[in-house]
Amino acid sequence: MQTELSKRLGIEHAVFGFTPFPAVAAAISRAGGFGVLGAVRYTAPDDLKRDLDWVEAHIDGRPYGLDVVMPAKKVEGVTEADVEAMIPAEHRGFVRDTLAKYGVPELPEGEASGWRITGWMEQVARTQLDVAFDYPIRLLANALGSPPADVVDRAHDQDVLVAALAGSARHAEKHREAGIDVVVAQGYEAGGHTGEIASMVLTPEVVDAVAPLPVLAAGGIGSGQQMAAALALGAQGVWLGSLWLTTTEADLHSPALTRKLLAAGSGDTVRSRALTGKPARQLRTEWTDSWDDPAGPGTLPMPLQGLLVADAVSRIQKYEVEPLLGTPVGQIVGRMNSERSVRAVFDDLTRGFEQAVDRINRIAGRSGQ
Q: What is the pLDDT of residues 249-278, one digit of tens each?
A: 998 889 999 999 999 999 999 999 999 898
For the segment 209-254, what is each residue's pLDDT rounded down to a tens digit?
Answer: 999 999 999 999 999 999 999 999 999 999 999 999 999 999 888 9
Quick one: pLDDT at residue 79? 67
pLDDT > 80? residue 32: yes
pLDDT > 60? residue 331: yes
Mean pLDDT confidence for 283-307 = 93
21 and 40 Cβ atoms separated by less than 8 Å: no
How wide is the angle at C-alpha 217 spanned by C-alphas 32 and 266, nearest 5°?
100
Mean pLDDT confidence for 144-161 = 93
How confident is residue 125, by pLDDT bands cut at 50, 70 and 90? confident
- Bin 241: left if φ > 0, else alpha if -120 < ψ < 50, else beta: alpha
pLDDT > 70? residue 163: yes
349 alpha carbon, distance to own chain's centre: 19
Long-range contacts of 256-262 (CB under 8 A, 24+ apart): 256/320, 256/322, 256/325, 257/317, 257/320, 257/325, 257/326, 257/327, 258/339, 260/322, 260/325, 260/326, 261/327, 261/329, 261/333, 261/336, 262/336, 262/337, 262/338, 262/339
First to last CA, the chain: 17
Full-model pTM: 0.93
**Sheet (strand 192-193) strand order:** 192-193, 280-283, 269-272
194 and 187 Cβ atoms separated by less than 8 Å: yes
**Among 7, 53, 52, 70, which Cα is nearest to 34's?**
7
What gap in Å lies between CA 175 and CA 316, rounded to an integer? 37
